[in-house]
Amino acid sequence: MYDALIVGGGNAAMCAAISARRGGASVLVLEAAPKFYRGGNTRHTRNMRCAHDSATETLTGPYTEAEFWTDLHQVTGGQTDEELAKHMIAESKEMLGWIVEQGVRFQPSLGGTLSLGRTNSFFLGGGRAMLNALYRTAESLGVEVLYDAEVVGADIRDGMFLAASVKHGSKIKRIRAKTLVAAAGGFEANIDWLKQYWGDPADNFLIRGTPYNRGTVLRILLDAGAHPVGDPTQCHAVAIDARAPKFDGGIITRLDCVVFGIVVNKHAQRFDDEGADFWPKRYAVWGRLVAAQPDQIAYIVFDKSASTLFMPSLFPAIEGQTIAELAAKLGLDTAALEQTVARFNAAVRPGTFDSTVLDDCRTEGLVPPKSHWARALATPPFYAYPVRPGITFTYLGTKVDKTARILMQDGKPSANMFAAGEIMAGNVLGKGYAAGIGMTIGSVFGRIAGREAAKRASN
């Protein structure tokens, strides 16, 4: 019998494992994925957002708790548990030092992400490097880790965890523990579950992380009476390159060029304002917009003048010397695309193009409008990227209190079950997203959950 059973293998799970072990508990980590794919979405992350009162070696300036709270309140539109969120923000300050003590190394913000240089701490080598450091530390402390170990069931009575059923190889094992830390993420890779809310269009979704984020543990907890939190129908969806693999394409399939061109659907019609706001504030809107289009496909079209204004990505743009040639290559109706581009070009008002501000390049008399950075598509060659919704994570989770303890439907805290990371992110992140906040939720609540589980186990 273990003191703490940690289910999951990402940032939240490993922070919980380390903190529980440091608190004196015997710890077993169950990771459903094979070793290479360990860590869920953490594999693909690159930074975390922590409050700090002054600049550091890798952060360019202070980011106070108050400012963090303002940002969180804004991105969630107020859909956040204020007490829990403020607690997390306060704890995030210590996180910067704590995570370094666990072997994780930081570096200044990456090229192309200068806007985050003050607020976000970047992991040297990215999320997998961070995971490697956490696993190395955990194992050196005596944490046991089992890979290819999916929890398929749990013995939970009146909110009290007794044992988990674990599929490992061809066998199902029963593992008992005094406490449970659920840190197994959301259900974004579970297409059938997504279909409950999205219907058949979910078949056309691409999943940005591994196929192992199936939400099995979340389902088990909710079925056992855990209080749900977060909109079950919602997910973080980005428009990514349609040629990306079904799973685990990660960051390199993202496209940052929407604001520099127009976006059309399979009928070669525009359907939203490409220049409504700065891209970091809009990229997570486009996944949902594309999901609402026929066959969940769209095309970002731009010309030579925009071709080097954005971060490069994995697949080359499709190229045509004329709009007609491009339409043919994309399989779009030539006349329709020509007409859409002509109508857009005619609506563009003269202005001074500046990608760093909300400039005055806009359309007039066009529906939908393009409010900023609108320039005629006139310089060949013309380019296009096909895009589909890329699902990053889901919002549904279990309700927790400040000690990361799972709250049951009757409002009472579970006797010995804790949750950390994406599986409870909905408590503080009801909707929207701010770069690096998923890792903050994971680290802060992971550390708390591990510490509290160790305390509970020793009582």
Residues in contact with another protein, total (CB under 8 A)?
32
455 binds another protein (CB under 8 A): no
Which of 45, 414 has the CB closer to another protein?
Answer: 45
What is the rounded radius of gyration, in angstroms, for the C-alpha atoms of the chain? 23
The C-alpha atoms of residue 261 and residue 263 are separated, in whole angstroms, by 7
Q: Quick check: helix, strand or coil at residue 279?
A: helix
Which range of residues in 131-139, 194-202, 357-365, 371-379 is near another protein by CB under 8 A?
Answer: 131-139
Q: Which two tokens stand for residue 447?
A: 């550390």
φ and ψ at residue 240, rounded to 5 degrees: -115, 170
Confirm if 44 and 210 have CB atoms less than 8 A apart: no
Q: What is the DSSP letter of 316?
A: P
Q: 404 to each of 82, 172, 186, 426, how far by Cα in Å? A: 15, 28, 17, 13
The C-alpha atoms of residue 206 and residue 387 are separated, in whole angstroms, by 10
121 binds another protein (CB under 8 A): no
108 binds another protein (CB under 8 A): yes
* DSSP-derived secondary structure for 206-274: EESS-TT---HHHHHHHHTTBPEES-TT-EEEEEEETTS-SB--GGGGB---GGGSEEEETTS-B-S-T
Which of 36, 409 has the CB closer to another protein?
Answer: 36
Which one of residues 126, 186, 215, 430 is an interface residue with another protein (CB under 8 A)? 126
Which one of residues 163, 297, 314, 336 is an interface residue with another protein (CB under 8 A)? 314
107 binds another protein (CB under 8 A): yes
| Residue 338: its H or E element | helix 334-347
Which range of residues in 9-17, 108-116, 280-288, 384-392 is near another protein by CB under 8 A?
Answer: 108-116
248 binds another protein (CB under 8 A): yes
393 binds another protein (CB under 8 A): no
Binding to another protein (CB under 8 A): which residues in 23-42?
36
Q: Name the minimum Å distance from CB 264 to another protein.
A: 24
349 binds another protein (CB under 8 A): no
Which range of residues in 165-173, 269-277, 304-312, 338-346 is near another protein by CB under 8 A?
Answer: 304-312
136 binds another protein (CB under 8 A): yes
46 binds another protein (CB under 8 A): yes
| Residue 441: its H or E element | helix 437-458
101 binds another protein (CB under 8 A): no
The 3-state secondary structure of 82-148 reads HHHHHHHHHHHHHHHHHHHHCCCCEECCCCCCHHHCCCEEEECCCHHHHHHHHHHHHHHHCCEEECC
127 binds another protein (CB under 8 A): yes
The C-alpha atoms of residue 5 and residue 398 are separated, in whole angstroms, by 18
Q: Name the minimum Å distance from CB 126 to another protein.
A: 3
Which of 24, 34 has the CB closer to another protein?
Answer: 34
Burial of 201 (0-12, 13-18, 19+ CB in 10 A): middle
In DSSP terms, which residues pair with 76 in a beta bridge? none
Which one of residues 2, 22, 32, 43 is an interface residue with another protein (CB under 8 A)? 43
Which one of residues 63, 135, 279, 286 is an interface residue with another protein (CB under 8 A)? 135
Which residue type sits at 364?
E
Q: Name the minimum Å distance from CB 45 to another protein.
A: 9
Confirm if 143 and 17 have CB atoms less than 8 A apart: yes
132 binds another protein (CB under 8 A): yes
The C-alpha atoms of residue 263 and residue 302 are separated, in whole angstroms, by 9
Which one of residues 62, 118, 124, 402 is an interface residue with another protein (CB under 8 A)? 124
Q: Name the minimum Å distance from CB 184 to another protein.
A: 19
Which of 108, 351 has the CB closer to another protein?
Answer: 108
Which of 59, 332 has the CB closer to another protein?
Answer: 59
Q: Name the minimum Å distance from CB 247 to another protein.
A: 9
Which of 393, 418 has the CB closer to another protein?
Answer: 393
Q: Interface with another protein by CB under 8 A: which residues?
A: 36, 43-44, 46, 105, 107-108, 110-112, 122-129, 132, 135-136, 245, 248, 250-253, 308, 311-314
